[in-house]
Amino acid sequence: MRYSLPLGSRPFGPLCIMQQMEVVELEPRPTNMDNRLYGASELSDLGRRGLLSQQQTSQQQTQPTQNFNQPVGGTVAVFPDELDRILESMVIVVPCKDEQVEVVKGVIKGIPSLCAVILVSNCSHRDGENGWGAQARMLEEFCTWGREGCFVHQKYPGAAMAFAAAGVHEVVDRTTGTIRNGKGEGMYLGIAMARSYFPNRQYIGFIDADNRVPGSVTEYCKAYAGGFALVQRSSAKSGDELEDVMVRICWGSKPKHNSETGRIDFVKQGRSSRIVNTFLNKLFAVLGEDRDFITTGNAGEHAMTMDMALTMRMANGYAIEPYQYIEPLLRHSSSSTCDAVNGHKPKHIDSKKTLILQIKTANPHLHRETDDDHILKMWAAGLGAIYHYIRASKASGLDSTVIANLCDEMHEFAVQNGAINNTEELPRPRIYPSLDRADLDSFRDVLGEPCVGHDGPAGLGFYGPVDSAWPNGSDGLNSPTDQSASDHDSSYRRSSVSSEEEALSDISKSCGMRPLLA
């Protein structure tokens, strides 16, 4: 992957948002200008700038430093060995509902096989060619080729029991005794499954099941991996502790059929992203510049470090992605001002920074067309996630007048466009506690080991090496099997590092830093 370098970054207290990077070459050829140390120092400069005051940064932003146009032509490349090192440490969660099996299969096809896959289905029926039984069998078939995979149905009673045992009662619907409906809920289940059954994987990504272009899916996964690799390089170079990192995808375009012209229009942003991004841009404006900085407010396709996924509270349904821009501002507040959201306080109140990378892909995003009602609900959910929680952010340095005006504007927009009526409030999303507060050992104990008696069509299935990696009576995350798996990982890594990476690693050791490949 070769990316254009971001032209700047904006810090908001503990949150640093990078300006969008763009994939400029999918399979770059290494040139002698692609010194990996060089790319590292470019991004690292930005990271450091991210810690400067907002005003200093905005002044610099208006005049990008010369560094950004250096010999690599303002680009930075990440090569296959680095991508693979991250991909083999990544779980991809695919939330799905009633998509045809062929469509979901296209998505799994596109996910690099080094990644484990968790298919979280909320399909309405089990039997038939597009029921969840068929979804599970399709995943099982992929995993016979060596991929690790897990299928879980959102309504599998054991999953609700597992959350209850973990102390996370709010995600369970009391009337049905099953996990609530919603994309956010499916992703939340996916995170808990990833932590429980793929404990050595350090990154988690999400890809919607209704993507129609498998090649786009491949690019999303590689773009995630490249983003993480760049941040690793950068922190190895600068000596800064690795941050919580999130990579959010802005699609190359969103093709839409135009019924008037009969043509396909390659529009830049979807109908809901356009609105949510507009308001987030007003929120994160610097020196009055309130356009085109946030391009990923609604990014259904995004990935983060596993640590970040476990320490973040998550919003329900379609509010989950916009809320991810607000949560880092809340969870890092100082302990006295730290805000409890729906009664949940974040567990870790520390000085760890959160870095958001926005990456525009080369491929388009083609998915199921939705009707106007759906878009109205997406607007309401997305704006509600910002509206109800942004006022609580105290450590961000955001201007309280800007926030108050923004909230009024969002409400007015939703009323004027029929997303809510004028006596209503924007919907307040349900917020689920961060999973590091949950008893995930009990969660896993209730669901059981992956090798025994699990069968996708019954609601839970494990396929490929994941089921053989668990010995009977495993005592959990530090079991001998896990240890040998991680030994295997590290020997793989040792054999795949290049001399440049070794050089970086040596530099980091001599500076007393965490080794790059730790």
Contact residues for ligand GDD, defined by CB under 6 A: 95-97, 99, 120-122, 154, 181-183, 186, 208-210, 270, 272-273, 298, 300, 318, 321, 367-368, 370, 374, 378
Q: Which of 368/391 has CB closer to Mg ion?
A: 368
99 binds Mg ion (CB under 5 A): no
User: Could you tell me the sign of the dihedral formed by the alpha carbons of 271, 289, 23, 57, in that order?
Assistant: negative
> Which secondary structure element, helix H or strand E, spans residue 411, and what is its range?
helix 400-416
Number of Cβ atoms within 10 Å of the Cβ of 304: 24
Q: Which of 19/121 has CB closer to ligand GDD?
A: 121
Q: Which of 95/199 has CB closer to ligand GDD?
A: 95
State the minimum distance, in angstroms, from the CB of residue 125 to ligand GDD.
Answer: 14
Residue nearest ligand GDD, Cβ-based:
300
154 binds, among ligand GDD, Mg ion, none (CB under 5 to 8 A by kind): ligand GDD
State the minimum distance, in angstroms, from the CB of residue 58 to ligand GDD.
Answer: 28
Between the alpha carbon of residue 273 and those of residues 216, 222, 250, 295, the distances in Å are 18, 22, 10, 8
Q: Are strands 2-4 and 116-121 parallel, antiparallel or unpaired?
A: unpaired
State the minimum distance, in angstroms, from the CB of residue 184 to ligand GDD.
Answer: 8
Residue pair 317/381 in contact by the 8 Å Cβ criterion: yes
182 binds, among ligand GDD, Mg ion, none (CB under 5 to 8 A by kind): ligand GDD
Q: Which of 321/327 has CB closer to ligand GDD?
A: 321
Of 307, 339, 431, which is closest to residue 381 (Cα–Cα)?
431
Residue pair 23/2 in contact by the 8 Å Cβ criterion: yes
Q: For residue 432, what are the contacts with CB-CB under 8 A and spacing of at least 6?
A: 168, 170, 171, 184, 185, 188, 313, 314, 315, 316, 344
Tokens of 203: 């990154």
345 binds, among ligand GDD, Mg ion, none (CB under 5 to 8 A by kind): none
49 binds Mg ion (CB under 5 A): no
Binding span for Mg ion by CB under 5 A among 66-74, 149-157, 362-370, 479-487: 362-370
State the minimum distance, in angstroms, from the CB of residue 138 to ligand GDD.
Answer: 15
Amino acid, single-letter form, for residue 182: G
367 binds Mg ion (CB under 5 A): yes
Q: Which of 272/434 has CB closer to ligand GDD?
A: 272
What are the respective helix, strand and coil percentages of the chain, to the nearest 5? 45, 15, 40
Q: Which of 37/138 has CB closer to ligand GDD?
A: 138
Q: For residue 165, what are the contacts with CB-CB under 8 A and spacing of at least 6?
A: 439, 442, 443, 445, 446
273 binds, among ligand GDD, Mg ion, none (CB under 5 to 8 A by kind): ligand GDD
Q: Which of 187/330 has CB closer to Mg ion?
A: 187
Residue pair 344/313 in contact by the 8 Å Cβ criterion: yes
C-alpha R_g of the chain: 22
State the minimum distance, in angstroms, from the CB of residue 107 to ligand GDD.
Answer: 8
44 binds, among Mg ion, ligand GDD, none (CB under 5 to 8 A by kind): none
Binding span for Mg ion by CB under 5 A among 93-101, 209-217, 336-344, 447-455: 209-217
Q: Which of 282/368 has CB closer to Mg ion?
A: 368
> Which secondary structure element, helix H or strand E, spans residue 349, and what is its range?
none
State the minimum distance, in angstroms, from the CB of residue 462 to ligand GDD.
Answer: 18
Phi and psi for 176 in degrees, rounded to 5? -100, -15
Amino acid, single-letter form, for residue 312: M
183 binds, among Mg ion, ligand GDD, none (CB under 5 to 8 A by kind): ligand GDD
Q: Which of 121/235 has CB closer to ligand GDD?
A: 121
State the minimum distance, in angstroms, from the CB of residue 95 to ligand GDD.
Answer: 3
What b/e string do you get for 383-406 counting C-beta neighbours within 10 Å, with b at 16 or more? bbbbbbbbebbbbbebeeeebeeb
- What is the contact surface with Mg ion in residues (CB under 5 A)? 210, 367-368
